[in-house]
Structure formats: structure tokens, C-alpha cells
Amino acid sequence: MDHEQAHWFKSSYSGGSGTECVEVADLASVIGVRDSKQPRGARLTVQRSAWTEFVRGLRSSASGECAVHS
């Protein structure tokens, strides 16, 4: 799927201002990540399995901080 045509969304934790947020999109085989301040700027693509592990780590962290694994 093209990045321009993707449905980008923000976390419900982002608040109502709509600025300074990370946006994500399901791009079929990968997850797209971008800065809401620069929607046409640089974007990351992350393998779905890596994104799933990243989100799982965030959810399981009691302090809200992501643990770093080597």
C-alpha cells in the first residue's frame, strides 16, 4: 500500500491537540511510522513482527518505559 493513501492514526493517549504525535499505518506486510508534524517527511517501515514485540513490551512495562533487549 502507498504511504500517501494509507490510513494513518494516532494513539488515544495523544490528547486532543493533534500535534507532536507519532502516527502509524497498517501497510499490509509492514507498519508505517511517521511524525504528525511532518506527514510528508521521512517515514519508518517496521516489520509487523517487530512492531508486535515493540507494542507488547510497552504494554507489559509497569513504568511505561520500553525495556531494551540486546
- d(CA 20, CA 51) in angstroms, rounded, equals 20
Q: What is the pLDDT at residue 21?
A: 85
Summarised one tens digit per residue, pLDDT across range 30-52 is 999 998 888 888 899 999 999 99
How far is Cα 54 from Cα 31, in angstroms, rounded to an integer? Answer: 12
Domain locations in the chain as residue ranges: 9-60
Q: Quote the pTM value.
A: 0.70
Phi, psi of 38 (to 5 degrees): -135, 70
